[in-house]
Amino acid sequence: MKLVSSKSVGERIEKVRSLIKSTGNKIGSVHFIKRSDGTKRKMAYRMHVSKPTYASQPTGNKNTSSKDILNTQLTVFDVNKVRYNKKGKMNGRGDWRTIPLENVTRIAVNGEIHKII
Protein backbone atom coordinates (compact mmCIF):
# COMPACT_ATOMS: atom_id res chain seq x y z
CA MET A 1 0.00 0.00 0.00
CA LYS A 2 1.37 3.39 -0.96
CA LEU A 3 0.69 6.45 1.16
CA VAL A 4 -0.24 9.72 -0.55
CA SER A 5 0.05 12.77 1.66
CA SER A 6 0.17 16.52 1.13
CA LYS A 7 0.12 19.58 3.33
CA SER A 8 -2.49 21.57 1.44
CA VAL A 9 -5.97 20.57 0.34
CA GLY A 10 -5.35 21.81 -3.22
CA GLU A 11 -2.32 19.56 -3.67
CA ARG A 12 -4.24 16.61 -2.24
CA ILE A 13 -7.14 17.18 -4.65
CA GLU A 14 -4.81 17.34 -7.64
CA LYS A 15 -3.00 14.14 -6.58
CA VAL A 16 -6.30 12.31 -6.14
CA ARG A 17 -7.59 13.62 -9.48
CA SER A 18 -4.45 12.45 -11.31
CA LEU A 19 -4.61 9.01 -9.64
CA ILE A 20 -8.26 8.54 -10.61
CA LYS A 21 -7.66 9.68 -14.17
CA SER A 22 -4.61 7.40 -14.49
CA THR A 23 -6.89 4.35 -14.80
CA GLY A 24 -7.55 5.25 -18.41
CA ASN A 25 -10.22 2.95 -19.76
CA LYS A 26 -9.80 0.33 -17.01
CA ILE A 27 -11.85 -0.19 -13.86
CA GLY A 28 -10.62 1.31 -10.59
CA SER A 29 -11.92 1.45 -7.03
CA VAL A 30 -12.33 4.43 -4.74
CA HIS A 31 -13.42 4.86 -1.12
CA PHE A 32 -14.71 8.23 0.04
CA ILE A 33 -16.97 9.95 2.56
CA LYS A 34 -20.21 11.29 1.17
CA ARG A 35 -20.83 15.01 1.61
CA SER A 36 -24.57 14.68 2.23
CA ASP A 37 -24.61 12.41 5.27
CA GLY A 38 -20.99 11.60 6.14
CA THR A 39 -21.21 7.87 5.43
CA LYS A 40 -18.40 5.88 3.80
CA ARG A 41 -18.92 4.75 0.23
CA LYS A 42 -17.02 2.26 -1.91
CA MET A 43 -17.34 2.51 -5.66
CA ALA A 44 -15.93 0.71 -8.67
CA TYR A 45 -15.59 3.28 -11.44
CA ARG A 46 -14.48 3.66 -15.02
CA MET A 47 -13.36 6.70 -16.97
CA HIS A 48 -13.90 7.49 -20.67
CA VAL A 49 -17.29 5.76 -20.97
CA SER A 50 -19.17 6.99 -24.01
CA LYS A 51 -22.82 6.54 -24.88
CA PRO A 52 -24.11 3.73 -22.68
CA THR A 53 -27.54 2.73 -24.00
CA TYR A 54 -29.28 2.83 -20.62
CA ALA A 55 -27.70 5.87 -18.88
CA SER A 56 -27.86 9.36 -20.33
CA GLN A 57 -24.79 11.58 -20.34
CA PRO A 58 -24.42 13.88 -17.30
CA THR A 59 -25.44 17.48 -17.85
CA GLY A 60 -23.73 20.54 -16.49
CA ASN A 61 -20.99 23.02 -17.20
CA LYS A 62 -18.50 21.58 -19.68
CA ASN A 63 -16.23 24.63 -19.58
CA THR A 64 -12.64 23.58 -18.78
CA SER A 65 -11.22 27.01 -18.04
CA SER A 66 -9.36 28.10 -14.92
CA LYS A 67 -12.51 27.39 -12.89
CA ASP A 68 -11.66 23.70 -13.27
CA ILE A 69 -8.73 24.16 -10.87
CA LEU A 70 -11.16 25.13 -8.10
CA ASN A 71 -13.47 22.23 -8.91
CA THR A 72 -13.38 19.59 -6.16
CA GLN A 73 -15.56 16.96 -7.82
CA LEU A 74 -15.01 14.45 -10.60
CA THR A 75 -17.72 12.69 -12.58
CA VAL A 76 -17.10 8.98 -13.24
CA PHE A 77 -19.13 5.99 -14.39
CA ASP A 78 -20.14 3.73 -11.45
CA VAL A 79 -20.00 0.23 -12.95
CA ASN A 80 -21.93 -1.56 -10.18
CA LYS A 81 -25.11 0.55 -10.05
CA VAL A 82 -28.04 -1.57 -11.19
CA ARG A 83 -30.59 0.25 -13.37
CA TYR A 84 -34.26 -0.74 -13.60
CA ASN A 85 -36.87 0.24 -16.18
CA LYS A 86 -40.39 1.45 -15.34
CA LYS A 87 -41.68 -2.12 -15.15
CA GLY A 88 -39.13 -3.06 -12.50
CA LYS A 89 -36.91 -5.23 -14.69
CA MET A 90 -33.16 -4.82 -14.78
CA ASN A 91 -32.27 -2.49 -17.63
CA GLY A 92 -28.49 -2.46 -17.34
CA ARG A 93 -25.60 -1.88 -15.03
CA GLY A 94 -23.86 1.45 -14.44
CA ASP A 95 -24.66 5.11 -13.92
CA TRP A 96 -22.89 8.44 -13.63
CA ARG A 97 -21.70 9.46 -10.16
CA THR A 98 -19.74 12.38 -8.72
CA ILE A 99 -16.76 11.83 -6.40
CA PRO A 100 -15.87 14.57 -3.86
CA LEU A 101 -12.08 14.64 -4.27
CA GLU A 102 -11.34 16.20 -0.88
CA ASN A 103 -13.05 13.28 0.93
CA VAL A 104 -11.29 10.38 -0.84
CA THR A 105 -9.59 8.00 1.61
CA ARG A 106 -8.40 5.13 -0.62
CA ILE A 107 -7.86 4.48 -4.34
CA ALA A 108 -7.06 1.16 -6.02
CA VAL A 109 -5.78 1.78 -9.52
CA ASN A 110 -3.59 -0.23 -11.94
CA GLY A 111 -3.01 -2.99 -9.37
CA GLU A 112 -1.78 -0.59 -6.67
CA ILE A 113 -3.59 0.59 -3.55
CA HIS A 114 -3.07 4.21 -2.49
CA LYS A 115 -4.14 5.38 0.97
CA ILE A 116 -4.82 9.11 1.08
CA ILE A 117 -3.84 10.89 4.29
Q: In which order are the strands placed within the sheet that holds 112-116?
A: 2-4, 112-116, 104-109, 27-33, 40-46, 73-84, 90-100
Q: Which of 56, 60, 68 is nearest to 14 (CA)?
A: 68
**What's at 55, amino acid-wise?**
A
Checking if the pLDDT of 24 tops 80, the result is yes
State pLDDT tens for residues 69-91: 457 898 899 998 888 888 998 88
Q: What is the pLDDT of residue 34?
A: 92
**pLDDT confidence of residue 61:** 61
Q: Is the pLDDT of residue 106 over 60?
A: yes
pLDDT digits (tens, 9 = 90+) for 43-72: 999 988 877 766 767 766 655 544 544 578
